[in-house]
Copies of this chain bind each other. A is one copy, B any other.
Amino acid sequence: MTDDVEAAPSAPAAARHLAPGDVGLVAPRDFAHAAPFAFRGGQVLPGFNLRYETYGELNAARDNAIVICHALSGDHHCAGWHSPADRKPGWWNNLIGPGKAVDTRRFFVVCANVLGGCQGSTGPSSPNPATGRPYGAAFPPVTIPDMVRAQRLLLDHLGVAAVHAVIGGSMGGMLALQFAIEYPQLVRRVLAMATTGRESAQAIAFNEVGRQAIMQDPAWNRGDYALGEGPRVGLAIARMMAHITYLSDASMDRKFGRRKRRAAEAEASAFDVQFEVEGYLRHQGQSFINRFDANTYLYITRALDQFDLEESAGSLESAFAPVQAETLIVGFTSDWLFPPEQNRALALALLRAGKRATYAELATDLGHDSFLLESEELYALVRGFLDRPGTPTP
């Protein structure tokens, strides 16, 4: 997902976190799981850390939790502000807060950086106790089910007895579906947006080009590099390319068109930035390398590519057989990375498997990242889905 959400335009920087409807100042916490954790591939870590945030309070019945699952480049900071000086709030701040679609007056919202991530959770950039250096390519291959199992341990730790809903877009949608498959007794609702039961060859291809850009950068050094160093050039290229796939032709034309940089900003060579869209992409690449680890990018794109509900169970219907949750799948017309058909196919398979499922398709022109859209229509869908009377747990 992109990181170019504009900050609220008018409020003074120091007061934005006081805006009504915002969860205000928040702080991440760490869940240190001190017991061995076996990955699906068979490798075992002696333990792991998940960095997470929560907003709202767990109720007495301990059944009002909402789990937010982030996308490839997202993190645990999905709402509120870490500091009054922050330029931007959490990445889903428009959706989550007191009185918002995910209402923190009613719900206990939990969001964790995924296992394998690089924003505080254990991943390839964490120190390998065997060497004292970052794990790098020695980190176990991580899968979407591994990420979900780690988050389940966090929920146990927090004392959550039932999850009112798991919500996620893109990779977050995959985690949400996997939650419903893996923990049918725990999860009452799943809201998965802009997602897929398995990526197309084209999506794998784009991920592969990104991985090649990283791995062919000499600074990758087979994954062995110090914190803060590594294949910055390759990672920026990977990010620039992926960023295009999160947008749409129409939204890029509206936002940049063929506008050129002002002459004052024009640089020396014919290959320096000439079009605004070029400067924007270069900025996206540069800001990404300051906040993201290249090995995590490799591991998580592999997890995305290998996620295949159909293959794992023989058919999508069989994969969904254990599901008890009510499911709402939301596709976006302009999403060409995980296009509407792939979203619709999930809802149809759930229905064929005899589950309670709905599909909603929103007409947007913002591409894959439409799930981050500020849209009353989307908010109303989310609100209605979270508010509807629960189905008695079997």
Interface, chain A (partner B; CB < 8 A): 137, 141, 198-202, 204-206, 208-209, 211-213, 215-218, 233, 236-237, 240-241, 244, 247-249, 252-253, 255-258, 269-271, 274-275, 277-278, 281-282, 285, 298-299, 302, 305-306, 308, 311, 336, 339
Query: CB distance A253 to B202 under 8 Å?
Result: yes
Query: CB distance A278 to B200 under 8 Å?
Result: no
Q: How far is the CA of A194 from the CA of B371 in the complex (A)?
A: 32
Contact pick for A209, options B240, B256, B298, B306, CB 8 Å: B240
Q: List 27 A-B contacts (CB under 8 A).
A: A199-B258, A200-B249, A201-B253, A202-B247, A202-B253, A204-B258, A204-B275, A205-B240, A205-B244, A205-B278, A208-B277, A208-B281, A209-B241, A209-B281, A211-B271, A212-B236, A213-B237, A215-B271, A216-B233, A241-B241, A258-B308, A258-B311, A270-B299, A270-B302, A271-B302, A274-B305, A274-B306
Query: CB distance B237 to A216 under 8 Å?
Result: yes
Query: CB distance A278 to B208 under 8 Å?
Result: yes
Which of A236, A237, A285, A299 has the most chain B CB within a 10 Å cutoff? A237
Q: How far is the CA of A199 from the CA of B253 in the complex (A)?
A: 10
Contact pick for A205, options B213, B218, B277, B339, CB 8 Å: B277
Q: How far is the CA of A305 from the CA of B272 in the complex (A)?
A: 13
> Other CB < 8 Å A-B pairs besides A202-B253, A215-B271, A216-B233, 14 of them?
A198-B258, A200-B249, A202-B248, A202-B252, A204-B275, A204-B278, A205-B244, A205-B252, A205-B277, A205-B278, A208-B281, A209-B241, A212-B281, A274-B306
Query: CB distance B212 to A277 under 8 Å?
Result: no
Query: CB distance B200 to A253 under 8 Å?
Result: yes
Q: How far is the CA of A96 from the CA of B311 in the complex (A)?
A: 45
Contact pick for A252, options B201, B247, B274, B339, CB 8 Å: B201
CB distance from A252 to the nearest CB of B (A): 4
Question: What residues of chain B lie closer than 8 Å to A256, measured between beta carbons?
Answer: 201
Query: CB distance A269 to B137 under 8 Å?
Result: yes
Q: How far is the CA of A213 from the CA of B271 in the complex (A)?
A: 12
